[in-house]
Amino acid sequence: MTSKEEDLKYILGNMGIEILESIEKGASNIETIKLFSGIPVSCIRGRIPVLLELNLIGQNTKGYFITRKGTNFRKILEKNKI
């Protein structure tokens, strides 16, 4: 894992990574993210703008979705068992 990916991991924290995983698994709005992850809505609302700004997720009329960058980041995390 590169320094950039380490930095992303620490910026997101465990909750941010769990939210990203939930979106990867198909959660597309705050309520489904909450159901998939068990994270409180207030925490989800705080992390979503960060995930959007870092281009790890995107948003369209159907809700949130994981981007290519987000998928690649998740693969790196999985590979490194983080």
pLDDT in tens, 57-75: 999 999 999 999 999 999 9
Nearest by Cα to 33 from 42, 45, 24, 22: 22
Structural domains counted in the chain: 1
Instruction: Describe the crossing of helices 3-24 and 41-53 by its angle, rounded to 10 degrees.
Output: 130
Neighbour tally for 12: CB within 10 Å: 20
* Euclidean distance between the first and the last CA atom of the chain, given in angstroms as a whole number: 10
CATH code at position 9 = 1.10.10.10
- Which pLDDT tens digit goes with each residue over 27-47? 999 999 999 999 999 999 999
For the chain, where are the E strands, in sequence order? 57-60, 63-66
Q: Give the domain extent around 49.
A: 3-79
- Whether the pTM exceeds 0.75: the reply is yes
Predicted local distance difference test score (pLDDT) of residue 2: 80
34 near 44, Cβ under 8 Å?
Answer: yes
